Structure 1
């Protein structure tokens, strides 16, 4: 399955406008050219128009089809500041501080999404995850019924029998360093919904641990067990089980020995890691050792799609995350 090709085709059928908040950055400009040529999205570049055009000319790329807005000179900035002040005034925001903050490209871009000038935003080539999440959580906030934002990877493992012929979702590999049991349950539920809406999967969600169904004891295991109970109680229509060791989650023979009777064990296609360390290490191990394609990290849980990039990303990574952002906007993820 060429999942990314499918996302491209979906994006083309109902184009959305995506903000590239780091509009002067060269990888973003190369990506912008490719996105426009392939009809994946309409693009809004944030930055100084002269610098953007100079950089595009130097790179021999065409960004003429993109809209360019400079927070320093845009007529939108005044209205954005007033709106941002209203959103945050109960948190001590002043109008003077709001006027200054919306000049920041990430805050300006997030306001563009909030107020409908764009359908989603992508950033992170030169900013940290925290830089992206902060305005997202302050302005866009979480979707109804979602308690926290998390990050997932779509993993495509070649010549693999696990998951759905090598297709699995890994979460949370990007956002929450040490989630509580309640947050872990929310991550499981949100990722199951993402698997259904984005990848057309029947989600089988494994809550991972170093223990399987009570084979080990301790507070780390207790957290995963409690998270599983919370998730099952909140969404008994979803197939979520745990705690499961990785081999019991994906290998049917092991599942029969360690977790007989589980509807998830041996069949999992969504893996929920107990913390960010294990999630981040896990996806990178699979990516490197199994030569898997790791699409992401993609954020989930925002009321509107806001997505992060690795600072080591290349232009093609940006193109793919933009395509995913369009599909998220289409499907309301």
Structure 2
């Protein structure tokens, strides 16, 4: 199927368009309908009538943006009309929702003049929390935005102007750093004097660029003082005294080229005459002013970017508008001003200088992706853009007094992180606890890129002091390739370590009655996981995390051979904390999902206690359900009897913890069923079960894998419970986030 056919089919089937309205309140019963509409709806109406600002509390206005256009400058298609703009408007709404959870509705208006557009948009102000102007041709777009900003008390943002300018601004900020320039040094040529080009010049000036060192070029040549042909008041802003008349003249001796014009307007000879280490962003859509490959071949010393996703340094507006509106809406801003746009550029630039996550690297198949000439702006798939840009915009709105609502920015950052990293809901207190203690955590896979990236985060956020175990040269080489600074991290090389023989001796003492010989002990101690476990056992660190590139049991066995279980614990277990995507549903602790194949009744009872303790450590009041295929004696077989016996043992030993069983999973998680069908159960008096004890490894493992695959919840784990020392075994090939979570958990845990 051709791209044309595929795109048409995508938009047509199975339902035309890309968006729909979603109901956010229950509307099942007569009572629900009474509240949703008449007579209940009168109450918020009266509140808003008394105070118009209450519309932000009782309606969707606080999170609703209009994507508004008259279709006179649609992408690269030109003046194709409002109806033909609608697929673009719907697409923009999709991006708003996907990237920043902003509800957006496309508004297509049949308006030709600036005055008509302004009047229609002004009339829509009561409905929307913000207006995103889109695809309105120049110069009308300038007047429309200016007038609406004067008239409206909600944010108005013309993305064709400012979106490109903000992302490009971030790219230039970082390019200055990489080329050892300052704003005062920079001479910039902007090719294209439409909406994006003018906005780009304005924003560069707000960032610190000298206006007299910006050369604006349009289809007639350089915009210079005194030029009459093809001029308007917006171009006159950037008219300068110069003898340069053509684009070629302008690029001779320039430091930076920013193109928002048409394809193939820049030749190799032109950029050869630019200064050393030129900055070249050719962003004409769909084909740039000079092809990326040709620009790099002609000037290998250049930092080059385009608007295309198939080359480095893509200037993509999706890095801007969703997050700018997110920050503006969350403080009920009256406008999006220059300071807020500068804050967005600076936040994007800062994020690009941070380490790139494994998730982003994997998405682009670029393991060595890092800040440098080929990476000066973040990738659109970097989920961290949300909690870097939106808070920066919100802070600027508060500081410049356009915010109606003042918020604590640190709390706001945490709230946004929770949206894309649900584990923050439960791990924040653990992270805080870890940060206070500064404990050493051993990583036996010290040369793994994922481990190194996680170690950098742990050290940078003061969550733990990473100890990297392995061949020193390999660790250093891997760190250099991953662009991770390990200068402040401890490295233990088992082969060269001065205590290696002493560790081998102690290891032999532990295992000599288990078939281990001195020769074998001397050999095995060189293995990082065994050396790391001995280092921990002998009191030289607080915890250990292993398994990123090892099979689970291959990591587990040496830990079990060297490290003891906690007091009064016979068998360790593996648990997961399940965090449902629905924030209204509390987390659930599940186990044993990784170790005990067919636990005895005593093992199950002990598992229940370990899982309950974990639930309590993350802020839950444990309510325990022992799961089975049957509920409360409905199936008199040996398996159900084993669960019943485990429950009796649990209740006898820990009567203070609410628990019941055996029961099916749906019964355990539905308090209404328990109260109605099994009112005799002590769990009928509890709010909700939050600890699930599975009958065997198969059921627990299958359950968490299904949840993980279906994407209905975020899982934290596997968490190893029942060991004396805080140790955790990772899922093989896990991401950086999981390593950080389990290492922080180990740092926060106490010795048993």
TM range, smaller chain: over 0.9
1:231 matches 2:654? no
Q: Distance in 2 between matches of 1:268 and 1:8?
A: 25
Matched residue of 2:441: which SS? strand
What root-mean-square deviation, in Å, do the aligned CA atoms of Structure 1 and Structure 2 show? 1.7
In the alignment, which residue of structure 1 is the partner of 2:464? Answer: 41
Query: Given that residues 439 and 747 in structure 2 are in contact (C-alpha distance below 8 angstroms), is that contact kept between their aligned partners in structure 1?
Result: yes
Q: Which residue, out of 471, 479, 499, partners 1:56? A: 479
Aligned in 2, Cα 1:216/1:160: closer, same or farther, shift over 3 Å?
farther
Q: Structure 1 residue 288: deviation in Å?
A: 4.2
What is the SS of the residue equivalent to 2:683? coil
The corresponding residue for 2:601 is: 181
Distance (whole Å) between structure 1 residues aligned to residue 676 and residue 518 of structure 2: 62
Deviation at 1:54, TM superposition (A): 0.9
Task: Please list the CA deviations of residues 167-210 of structure 1 after superposition, one character each: whole Å capped at 9, or x if unmatched.
Answer: 111111111122122211111111112222x2132211100011
Q: Per-residue deviation at 1:246?
A: 1.2
Q: Which residue of 2 aligns with 1:119?
A: 542
1:277-296 to 2 correspondences below 5 Å? 277-289=698-710, 291-296=712-717
Return the TM-score normalized by structure 1.
Answer: 0.93
Aligned position for 2:445 = 22
- Name which of 543, 547, 565 aligns with 1:142: 565
Matched residue count: 327
Partner of residue 278, structure 2 = none
* Alpha-carbon distance in 2 for matches of 1:128, 1:202: 34
Residue 246 (structure 1) aligned to one of 655, 661, 665: 665
- Looking at structure 2, the residues matched to 324 and 125 of structure 1 have their Cα atoms a distance apart, in angstroms, of 16
User: For 1:200 and 1:315, how far apart are their aligned partners in 2?
Assistant: 25
Long gaps (5+) in structure 1: none
Deviation by residue 1:115-157 (Cα, 9 ceiling, x = unmatched): 1111111011111221222122111111110010001111111
Q: CA deviation at 1:160?
A: 5.5
Kindly state the Cα deviation for residue 92 of structure 1 after the two structures are TM-superposed.
Answer: 3.1
Residue 10 (structure 1) aligned with residue 433 (structure 2): yes
Partners of 2:683 and 2:729 lie apart in 1 by 30
Paired residues of 2:452 and 2:479 also in contact (CA < 8 A): yes
> Match of 1:195?
615
DSSP 3-state at the match of 2:598: coil
- Deviates further, 230-239 or 267-276: 230-239
1:276 aligns with 2:682: no
Aligned match of 2:635 in 204, 216, 228?
Answer: 216
**CA distance in 1 between partners of 2:569 and 2:506 (Å):** 23
- Residues 245-304 of structure 1, C-alpha deviation per residue, up to 9 Å, x if partnerless? 112212111102443222235621101111111112212333444631100001000110
Decide which of 558, 561, 574 is 1:151's aligned counterpart.
Answer: 574
2 CA distance for matches of 1:18 and 1:263? 41
**1:293-332 alignment to 2 at 5 Å?**
293-328=714-749, 331-332=750-751
Distance 1:262 1:327 in 2: 35
User: Residue 454 of structure 2 contacts residue 739 of structure 2 at CA under 8 Å; is this kept in 1?
Assistant: yes
The answer to whether the 8 Å contact 2:427/2:618 transfers is no
Larger mean Cα displacement after TM superposition, 178-187 or 300-309: 178-187
> Unaligned stretches of 5+ in structure 2?
1-423
Instruction: Indicate if the aligned counterparts of 1:140 and 1:303 stay in contact, CA closer than 8 A.
Output: yes
Pair member with larger Rg? 2
CA distance change for structure 1 residues 202 and 63 in 2, over 3 Å: closer, same or farther? Answer: same
What is the alpha-carbon distance in structure 2 between the residues aligned to residue 312 and residue 88 of structure 1? Answer: 30
